[in-house]
Amino acid sequence: MWALAAAALIGLVAGVLAGLFGVGGGILFVPTLTLVLGLTQLHAEASSLLAILPTSIAGAWRQRRYGNVRWRPALVLGLAAVAGVEAGVQIAEALPEHVLRRLFGVLMLAVAVQLAWRALRKPSYAS
Amino acid sequence: MLRLVCIGLVAGLFSALFGVGGGIVVVPLLILLAHFDERPAMATSLAAIGLIALVGAVSYGVHGELKVGAAAVVGLPAAAGAVGGAWLQQRLATRTLTLAFAALLAAIAVWLLV
C-alpha cells in the first residue's frame, strides 16, 4: 500500500520534472518501477512504455494548438518504428537482467550529461 | 521519406530496449537528418513517441511482460504532473535547477550501475 502511494507520488513528481526539463517520463518511470515497486528491469521497461502514453498524448495535444506538430512525418516515424520495436523487445528479452539494468544506468548518465551540457551552453537568465 | 523511416527504426529499437520514449534520439535526428527546426522537431517527436510507446507496450504485452497496474499507478499521476511542469517551465526553469536535475539523474544512474 505504502509502496503504491509512494509510486503514485513519485509519478506525479516525475511528470512535473519531465514537463519542467523537457525530458520524457520514461527515464524517471523505469527507476521508479524497479526501485520503488520492485519490478524487474524488463517488466519496468515494458510498463514504462505504457505509462508514457497519457503524458505524451497530453503533451502532443498541447503542442498541436501551436501548430508545431507535423503529423505526416510523425506517422511515418511511428509506423517505421514497428520493426525497430520488435528488434528492441527481442534484444531486451535476450539480455540478462543485470546487463539491461546497467545499460539503462549508462543511458541515464548520458541524459544527465546532455542536460548539463545544454544548461551550461545557454547563458543563464533570471535565477 | 527514407530518412524518416531510418529514424523511426532507430527510435523504435532504442525505445523498446530502454523503455523510454526515445525523444533523446528522435529530436536530434530530426534536426540533423530531416532538417527540422528545433520546435517542430520536439513537437513532432512527442506525437511520434506516443505511437512508438503504444507499439512498444502492445509488443511487450504480447510477450507477457506488461504490468498494467504499475504502469497506471505511475503514468496517470505523471500526466497531471506534466501539465503543471510545463506551466512551471515558463516561470522557474533556470540553469541551477537544470544542473540540480542532471545531478539527480546521475545519482540514480550511479545507484543502478554499482
Estimate the crossing angle of helix A41-65 against helix A71-94, to 10 degrees.
170
pLDDT tens string B20-58: 988 888 988 999 999 998 888 888 888 899 899 999 999
B2 touches chain A (CB under 8 A): no
From B48, B67, B45, B47, select the one nearest B57 (Cα to Cα): B67
Instruction: Give pTM, 2 decimals.
Output: 0.88
Domain spans of chain B, in order of start: 1-66, 67-114
Name the average pLDDT for chain B.
Answer: 89
B87: closest CA of chain A, how far (Å): 8
Side chain identity at residue B36, one-letter code: F
- Window 66-85 of B, Cβ < 8 Å to A: 66-68, 70-85
What residues of chain A lie within 8 A of the CB of B99, using their CB? 116, 119-120
Q: Which residue of B has its CA nearest to A33?
A: B70
pLDDT tens string A75-123: 999 999 999 999 999 999 999 999 999 999 999 999 899 888 888 886 6
Binary contact (A77, B70; C-beta < 8 A): no
A22: closest CA of chain B, how far (Å): 8
* DSSP state at residue B34: S
pLDDT tens string A53-82: 998 888 777 777 777 889 999 999 999 999
What residues of chain A lie within 8 A of the CB of B75, using their CB? 11, 25, 29, 50-55
Angstrom CA distances, B83 to A49, A92, B88, stand at: 19, 31, 9
From A92, A39, A88, select the one nearest B69 (Cα to Cα): A39
Q: Which residue of A has its CA nearest to B101?
A: A112
Binary contact (A50, B71; C-beta < 8 A): yes
ipTM: 0.88
